[in-house]
Amino acid sequence: MSGAPPVLAVGIVALEFAAAVTGFVASTLLPVVAVELDARGRLGLLIAGSTLGLFVALPLASRVLGRLGPRRTLAAGMLAYLGGLALAASARAAWVFALGQFAGGLAGGLLAVFGISSAIRHLDERLRIRVVAASSAMWIVPALAGPAATLGLAHLVGWRWTLLAPVPFVLFGRLLVVRAVRDDPAAEAAPRPLGRTLSVPLGAACVVLSAGWWPLAIAGTLITVAGMSTILPAGTARLWRGTPAALGAMVLFAVGYFGADSLITVLLTSGFGMSLGRAAIVLSAAPLGWAVTSLLATRRTSAFPVIGLSLTAFGTAVLAVELALGGSFGVVLGAWTVAGIGVGLAYPGLYIRATTAGSSGFTAAELATAVITAECVGQLLGRVVGGTLSSAGTTGGLVVSYVVFALAVTAAAGAASRASGVE
């Protein structure tokens, strides 16, 4: 298996590219699907499927890996992915489309845990950090060309066939990963209590399907956090040095950055009164800054996460100040670009530290589940916080939201400084 690490690395990056293509195809086609299925008043149902599927997969993934082994787990994930995609593409009703998206999200979560756990087992830290950086860069082309290409293809062959466009990329990545890990033994089953871990998808369902009713969203948030504490290593909430602190930093980073990102269009159009054209330029600045900078941050330098997250916190805070005082397009564009550059600098190193076992006693599958849970739950919490605070007033609520997001990323920088310590 001397060629396994490079083949596995390329396969993981290919699957990340496929995930990016899948995400942009689905989001671009959403308005078309809503009209076609007469579901313009049920967008939440169309969107929720893949998110809920992912959260259901997270507490189950390590158990599936333990019972089925790597090859059969990957086969089951691919069958679920292809079946879900076929169901969504042939749907004649909104609930059928949502069910197909749920199956796709379930498969995506399973494949993500499988890919990350395989990387932890087979790739050394030097190669893993390059894989993380390259995976981030895989979002550049889909972000730039994805929406236009998707709409053009949908015009030529229809949205149903266009929904199947990512399949070749997924199959290519799967083939490479199977070749690299075909001789892996089955992992031991995870000991985490299933009932408590399943509160993560239960809470996520409450949040996603709350339809703006904040009592249900807040209740779902509390349930999700309770379940998350079971999946993450002991000491994460108290930021114990090493892996727990890195995972805590990942949660705080996701709350701050993805919360800010989820409201950026509202901030630009409602808060700053920008046109959609200018808003689109600012919107793309941070992801591109993230992707490009991550390619330059492939050295295992413990200072990168702290420096990068500090830059992201600064850029986010500038947006809040500019909104309160009134700012220019150039300053806003620069601030959000700096925020993205900071993420690109911080993310690879933080991700590697969060997936290094140290003395946590977690298996590769459990670490993979933990890091995905930390990031996904953080995103969910950020959107809940942002939605709740921003609803308090168009400008005042947005200012408070971005202050909170900046504080969350600042706290993430502090946690990242503990992540490189001795456990």
Q: For position 325, which CATH number holds?
A: 1.20.1250.20
Q: pLDDT value at position 1?
A: 42
Task: Return d(Cα 162, Cα 149) in angstroms, integer.
Answer: 10
- 306 neighbors 416 (Cβ within 8 angstroms): yes
- Using one digit for the tens of pLDDT, what is the confidence trace for 183-206? 555 555 455 666 667 777 788 777
- Using one digit for the tens of pLDDT, what is the confidence trace for 143-163? 777 767 877 888 888 888 988
Domain for residue 189, yes or no? no
Q: CA angle, 352 as apex, 347 and 354 as ends, to 5°?
A: 90
Are 142 and 264 part of one and the same domain? no
Q: Torsions phi, psi of 327, nearest 5?
A: -135, 175
Are 58 and 11 part of one and the same domain? yes
Residues contacting residue 47 through CB under 8 Å, at least 6 positions apart: 30, 208
Are 265 and 400 part of one and the same domain? yes
Range of the domain at 211: 199-231
Q: Which amino acid, residue 1?
A: M
Domain for residue 190, yes or no? no
Q: Which two tokens stand for residue 306?
A: 């702290």
Task: Return d(Cα 341, Cα 334) in angstroms, integer.
Answer: 10
Residues contacting residue 279 through CB under 8 Å, at least 6 positions apart: 264, 265, 268, 269
- 118 neighbors 181 (Cβ within 8 angstroms): yes
Domain boundary (149, 184, 219) is at 184
Domain for residue 272, yes or no? yes
CA dihedral of residues 76, 81, 82, 88 (deg, nearest 10) = 140
Considering only the C-alpha atoms of the chain, give the largest distance between any 2 of them, rounded to a whole number of Å.
61
Cα 309 → chain centroid: 17
Are 208 and 338 part of one and the same domain? no
Domain for residue 113, yes or no? yes
Domain for residue 76, yes or no? yes
Give how far Cα 305 sits from Cα of 57, 178, 349, 415, Å. 28, 32, 6, 10
First to last CA, the chain: 32
Q: pLDDT value at position 316?
A: 93
Q: Which two tokens stand for residue 204?
A: 């996520």
Task: Return d(Cα 94, Cα 100) in angstroms, integer.
Answer: 10
Are 244 and 368 part of one and the same domain? yes
Domain for residue 211, yes or no? yes
Are 150 and 225 part of one and the same domain? no
Q: pLDDT value at position 413?
A: 92
Q: CA angle, 181 as apex, 179 and 184 as ends, to 5°?
A: 140
Cα 1 → chain centroid: 31
Are 276 and 335 part of one and the same domain? yes
Are 253 and 389 part of one and the same domain? yes
Give how far Cα 97 sits from Cα of 57, 93, 155, Å. 19, 7, 20
Alpha helices, H only, 138-242: 140-157, 159-162, 167-181, 194-197, 199-208, 214-231
Per DSSP, 110 falls in state H
- 95 neighbors 37 (Cβ within 8 angstroms): no
Are 276 and 177 part of one and the same domain? no
Task: Return d(Cα 216, Cα 206) in angstroms, integer.
Answer: 6
Q: What residues of the chain score a pLDDT lower than 50?
A: 1-2, 189, 422-423
Number of domains the chain is built from = 3
Domain for residue 305, yes or no? yes
| Sole residue written with tokens 């550059």 | 341
Are 245 and 378 part of one and the same domain? yes
| Sole residue written with tokens 């209590």 | 193
Q: Which amino acid, residue 164?
A: L
Are 346 and 389 part of one and the same domain? yes
Are 74 and 203 part of one and the same domain? no
